[in-house]
Amino acid sequence: MTEHLFAWLDERLDLSELRAFVAEKSVPKHRHSVWYYMGGITLFLVGVQVATGILLLLYYRPSAGEAYESVKFIVSQVQFGWLIRNVHSWSANLLILMAFVHLFSTFFLRAYRKPRELTWITGVLLLFVMMGFGFSGYLLPWNELAFFATKVGTGIAGAIPFVGDFMVRFLRGGDDVTGATLTRFYGIHVAILPAITTVLLGVHLLFIQRQGMSVPPSVEKREQAGEKIPQEPFFPNYVLHDVMWWYVALAVLAALALFLPWELGTKADAFAPVPAGIRPEWYFLAMFQTLKLIPSHVLGIEGEMLGVLGFSLAALLLLVMPFLDRGAAVGRPSKIITAAAVLTVLYLIIFTIYGYLAA
């Protein structure tokens, strides 16, 4: 039947090019090959987010009066509603985790070097967008923790020089976090960010297909020395390997969603005191903890402003990395950049754990 359908489509669309592409495409096999699957897992989780997100839209109501109740309705009344919400929440976290793993693995394999600079840039932008999803989605259940986390998070934007005040009002849809903020975050979460993601992800994947898989400099050297690097056919071998990893991700996701239900907490109340133990999602913890540790004034600059400037600089450096590590393109990756990256990873891990324990 598949052959029939394919023939039918082929007759109309001439799929010979696609067929040739699929038949010829191959993926290099070497001892770092396992990292190739990390992007695929991330992509799988994006799919899970889209599917479960659309399902949640069927019952969710984006207003201060009803948001909390509608989520409660989903998890307590709708059949399998608890499952859909747990999967959406857990998958969001796994997605960010895998995006970081994918980022650092491509980083250390120097996959960003010429000619893949733009693939890297779209990837880093995608990571920022994913964090935006995390931040905007966190508020939507309209519970106490989310309410205050959003107050703090949007407040940090206020530390940006010159445009800070505007940014806070822009993000909150007013001076305070209110129902207006909720509808605004909802719009960002379900319309603006998905639109940006579609474009960035489309370009990211298109570039990867055009350029093929990058091999790390060490493997490239062997290749240049005349050694033949074994290749794996993309279809079906690599695809099945990919699917195997998706199964692993699905199993982890299902286990988390079943055994560690995502809490709903208590409904947000603007006049209640901040609950003890408030902290952002883990992927903002390192930033959160850093801000807590910077003194209120450093050399006449406000501590928060210094922190925000520091994070912005780090984000910018990450974005333009291919243009800093020029030597990588000719197989001589910078040792300083490797060292800086290792330190960054250690910093992120240590401060995340520190932030978790300190709160």
201: contact with another protein by CB under 8 A: no
Closer residue to another protein (CB): 83 or 348: 83
Among 38, 45, 46, 55, binds another protein (CB under 8 A): 55
How many residues are there in the chain?
Answer: 359
Closest approach of Cβ 205 to another protein, in Å? Answer: 23
The residue among 244, 130, 143 whose CA lies nearest residue 193 is: 130
Question: Which range of residues in 51-59, 122-130, 286-294, 306-314 is near another protein by CB under 8 A?
Answer: 51-59
# of chain residues touching another protein (CB under 8 A): 13
Supply the DSSP symbol for 78: S
Q: Tell me which residues in 227-256 interact with another protein (CB under 8 A).
A: 247, 250
Residue 33 CB coordination number (10 Å): 17
Residue with tokens 């060292």: 339
Among 28, 39, 53, 81, binds another protein (CB under 8 A): 81
78: contact with another protein by CB under 8 A: yes
6: contact with another protein by CB under 8 A: no
Distance between CA atoms of residues 304 and 70, nearest Å:
36
Among 77, 162, 225, 227, binds another protein (CB under 8 A): 77
137: contact with another protein by CB under 8 A: no
Which residues are 231's β-sheet partners?
Answer: 28
Closest approach of Cβ 157 to another protein, in Å? Answer: 36
Residue 184: partners with Cβ closer than 8 Å, 6 or more residues away: 171, 172, 173
Please confirm whether the linkage preceding 115 is cis (ω < 30° from 0).
yes
Residue 107: partners with Cβ closer than 8 Å, 6 or more residues away: 321, 341
80: contact with another protein by CB under 8 A: yes
Question: Which range of residues in 23-31, 55-63, 96-104, 326-334 is near another protein by CB under 8 A?
Answer: 55-63
3-state SS assignment for residue 301: strand
3-state SS assignment for residue 16: helix
79: contact with another protein by CB under 8 A: yes
Question: Which range of residues in 71-79, 95-103, 131-139, 150-158 is near another protein by CB under 8 A?
Answer: 71-79
Closest approach of Cβ 240 to another protein, in Å? Answer: 8
Closer residue to another protein (CB): 82 or 108: 82
Answer left, alpha or beta for residue 281, where phi above 0 means left and psi between -120 and 50 means alpha. beta
Among 13, 23, 58, 316, binds another protein (CB under 8 A): 58
- Structure tokens, 325: 């590590």
Residue 346 CB coordination number (10 Å): 10
Q: HSE of 280 in the Cβ direction (CA atoms, 13 Å)?
A: 24
Closer residue to another protein (CB): 56 or 182: 56
Closest approach of Cβ 73 to another protein, in Å? Answer: 8
At 312, the amino acid letter reads S
Closest approach of Cβ 52 to another protein, in Å? Answer: 9
Binding stretches for another protein (CB under 8 A): 51, 55, 58-59, 77-81, 83-84, 247, 250
